[in-house]
Structure 1
Amino acid sequence: MATISLLLIFLLHAATVISADLRPGFYHSTCPDAESIVRGVMRKALIREPRSVASVMRFQFHDCFVNGCDGSMLLDDTPTMLGEKLALSNINSLRSYEVIDEAKEELEKACPGVVSCADIVIMAARDAVALAGGPDWKVRLGRLDSLTASQEDSNNIMPSPRANASALVDLFRKFNLSIRDLVALSGSHSIGQARCFSIMFRLYNQSGSGKPDPAIEPGFREKLDKLCPLNVDQNVTGDLDATPCVFDNQYFKDLVAGRGFLNSDQTLFTFPKTRGYVELYSRDQSQFFKDFVNGMLKMGDLQSGHCGEVRKNCRVVNGHSDHLLLE
């Protein structure tokens, strides 16, 4: 019995250590087509629904900030666990989980029990950017999937669309991400849409004043008023920038012009510590791309240090008797 216990301790320790060994080409020998399989799934998702790739890209942010990049946000609720899908920042916001499911199904056919869901999120986020016309890069892989999720942790960590740049700077600092990282990674809003729910306070009661956000350019304010009147279905969506299907630096140009959709975006231009980077990226798309890739890699390295497994189904943990550790 003692031998079995020692072996179990060793294996659990190995899961933590191996999870920290992130490197490009991790699946070169165990599943050589892993990255091409994920990109193929993302390409089909883009054709089916262009908005889906932006949704999948955001999974990396919502997964990695909450106890590291471990696929925890993909877990469904259970009778004994409230997962992260219904957390305040995720409910009615995150979507396209089925794209990750599809990638996992294809990978299980090709290489059963090898590629973690956490790594699929990282690959898919990179592919979303590349397929939308943005930069491409080599991702570091080798993560394990968590055995649990925490709605409470997600609620406590993830920022609200009402957050201002100062609060975002403080949040990113906790993860050793710089102000430059913050602004560059905010450029993820170069693609996709957001709900009227996220901006109603900006339009009608900014800071409890009963007035709109004065930073909104008047012509853009008129457009938003038509999209999101007071009696609107707040699930109606609007574009995050003027080119929502193309990953480019238009997002930053819009912020300079006072046309940021979210409060958390527009304050990056009005806040002195972040304004310079917004101006830089609005002028220099290549620098934005370079810094965005660097930020995605740094964020992708965030880990909890907890033990994990390679899930067979990204929505549920494996049975206790068949945990599959990365080799």
Structure 2
Amino acid sequence: MASSSLSSSSSLFRRLAVLQLAVAATLILTLGGAQAQLQYDYYNETCPGVEDLVREALLAKFADDMTLPASLLRLHFHDCFAAGCDATIMLKSHNGTAQRDADPNATVRGYEAIEDVKAKVEESCPLTVSCADIMAMAARDAVNFTRGPAYQVETGRRDGNVSRKEDAERSLPPADGNVTVLTGYFAAQNLSMKDMTVLSAAHTIGVAHCSSFSNRLYNYTGAGDQDPALDPEYAKNLTAVCTPEHMASVQTLDQVSPTTFDTGYFQSVYNHRALLASDAALLEDSFTAPYVTLMATNASYAPAFFQDFSVSMLKMGRIAVRTGTDGEIRATCAIYVD
């Protein structure tokens, strides 16, 4: 990378950092009392050791299923964006009207793992620890298990008891959105453009179904064409697996290190090997591309990415939380609400 380009990227990187600090300050002022009631080590007196209990229970599950960490990270994201981090994605509906019944949640998984962990926590501390907090801990442990940062989680959330399909359909960002579209979805949650860029890198682990990106292979503009932004060799490999008859197949989101939480995601995006259009779009925007480029081409910035991700996850974990007397602590996370 040319030194002038690196200097420009570094300058924009600093601008991103300043923007995040400004938005964080605004967030502290606007979220008010609910955010203030979240705190570190919230359960020290009422359920001491609960974070270790959750972690140990999950480690056993991760050892049996290497795809679970990505699933739990996604589950937390989809819960927070739909109606706040209140575990309402866990709720069920006999009539198919709950968040988990929405199309964007059709391939979400990990519900059973959260329920199993909740059962273990209930044995030690009945009706004390919320499902929402367990989900936040699980997302953190999923990131750390795959060699990502071991950030600290704020706790004190309570669970919601209303789950609406339309909340997920309205609030979850689309897999084919451009930066303008994505920024709008994140801004609605008081998250900045930098948060959007950083949290998109959760795709450094996990997979996507072929149906999520097939239009890039077969009908990009509606004329039966292919997305020219795709690396030709990569596109050829994808079409060999994601044939029109096999849209249920899956592909790894990060082509460099799909099971390790690192900057491989940014390398995939930088090399035009991003699977989803929403990921590829980060390289096309003048504000997000420098961050992608910096992380993809300079390994020394990996610790900065880990720090950025930790900060953005902390902010995401505060979205519309229920605390104090708002909400409930239930014994089972996945109950029917109709």
Interval containing the TM-score (normalised by the shorter chain): 0.7 to 0.9
Q: Cα offset for 1:281?
A: 2.2
Among candidates 123, 126, 145, match of residue 112 of structure 1 = 126
Q: Tell me whether 1:170 sits opposite 2:174 in the alignment.
A: no
Distance 1:273 1:183, change over 3 A: same
- Decide whether aligned partners of structure 1 residues 20 and 76 sit closer, same or farther in structure 2, where only a CA change above 3 A counts: farther
The amino acid of 1:249's aligned partner reads T
From 3, 13, 22, the equivalent of 2:38 is 22
What's the offset of the Cα at 1:78? 3.6
Tell me the amino acid that sits aligned with residue 272 of structure 1: S
CA drift of 1:19 comes to 7.8
Provide the C-alpha distance between the structure 2 equivalents of 1:305 and 1:40, rounded to a whole number of angstroms: 26
C-alpha deviation, 1:170, in angstroms: 1.2
Q: Is the 8 A contact 1:20 1:305 kept in 2?
A: no
Does 1:280 pair with 2:264?
A: no
Task: Tell me which amino acid in the other structure corresponds to 1:312.
Answer: A
Out of 94, 98, 113, the residue aligned to residue 112 of structure 2 is 98
Counterpart-to-counterpart distance in 2, 1:59 and 1:236 = 20
Q: Is the counterpart of residue 292 in structure 1 residue 309 in structure 2?
A: yes
Alpha-carbon displacement from aligned partner over 1:190-245 (angstroms, at most 9, x marks no partner): 0011101101111011132321111100111111111102222x121110112111
| Deviates most, 297-306 or 242-251 | 297-306
The CA distance in 2 between the partners of 1:169 and 1:19, in whole Å, is 23
Matched, 1:314 2:333: yes
**Letter in structure 1 aligned against 2:183:** V
Q: Give the residue type in structure 1 aligned to 2:253.
A: L
Q: Percent identity?
A: 36
Q: Is the 8 A contact 1:184 1:292 kept in 2?
A: yes
1:17 Cα offset (Å): 6.4
1:194 aligns to what SS in structure 2?
strand
SS of 2:287's partner is helix
1:33-79 CA distance string (max 9 Å, x none): 21011111221121111001110011121011112100000101145
The 2-side partners of 1:308 and 1:317 are apart by: 16
Q: Which residue of 2 aligns with 1:86?
A: 101
- Secondary structure at 1:206 match in 2: coil
Q: Residue deviations 1:286-319, cap 9 Å, x none?
A: 111111110000000111559310011001279x
Any residues of structure 2 matched to 1:153-232 within 5 Å, and which?
Answer: 153-232=167-246
Please give the secondary structure, in 2, of the residue aligned with 1:76.
Answer: coil
SS of the residue corresponding to residue 141 of structure 2 reads helix
* 1:235 matched residue in structure 2: 248
The secondary structure found in structure 1 opposite 2:208 is strand
Change (3 A) 1:207 1:273: farther
Write out aligned runs for 1:144-159 (5 A): 144-159=158-173
> Is 2:136 the counterpart of 1:125?
no
2:68 aligned partner: 52
Corresponding residue of 2:27? none
How many corresponding residue pairs? Answer: 300
Distance of 1:18 and 1:155 partners within structure 2? 25
1:271 is aligned with what amino acid?
D
Contact 2:92–2:336 under 8 Å retained in 1: no
For the aligned residue pairs, the C-alpha RMSD in angstroms reads 1.8
Asked if the contact 1:19/1:142 (under 8 Å) is kept, the reply is no
When the two structures are superposed, what TM-score results if normalisation uses the length of structure 2? 0.85
Q: Which residue of 2 aligns with 1:3?
A: none
Partner of 1:72: 88
Q: Is the 8 A contact 1:145 1:311 kept in 2?
A: yes
Give the 3-state SS of the residue equivalent to 2:103 in structure 1.
Answer: coil
Q: Which amino acid aligns with 2:119?
A: E
Instruction: Output one character per residue of 1:67-125: Cα deviation in whole Å (capped at 9) or x when no partner.
Output: 2100000101145x71111111101x101211101110000001000000000110000
Q: Partners in 2 of 1:207 and 1:118 — Cα distance? A: 40
Pairwise CA distance, 1:280: 2.2
1:253: how far off? 0.6
Runs of 4+ in 1 over 6 A off after TM superposition: 16-19
Higher deviation after alignment, 203-212 or 68-77: 203-212
Report the 3-state secondary structure (helix = DSSP H, G, I; strand = E; otherwise coil) of the residue aligned with 2:144. Answer: helix
Asked if the contact 1:164–1:264 (Cα under 8 Å) also holds between the matched residues in 2, the reply is yes
Contact 1:69–1:301 (Cα < 8 Å) also in 2: yes
Please say if residues 18 and 142 of structure 1, whose CA atoms lie closer than 8 Å, have aligned partners that are also in contact: no
Partners of 2:99 and 2:311 lie apart in 1 by 26
Cα pair 1:147 1:317 within 8 Å, conserved = no
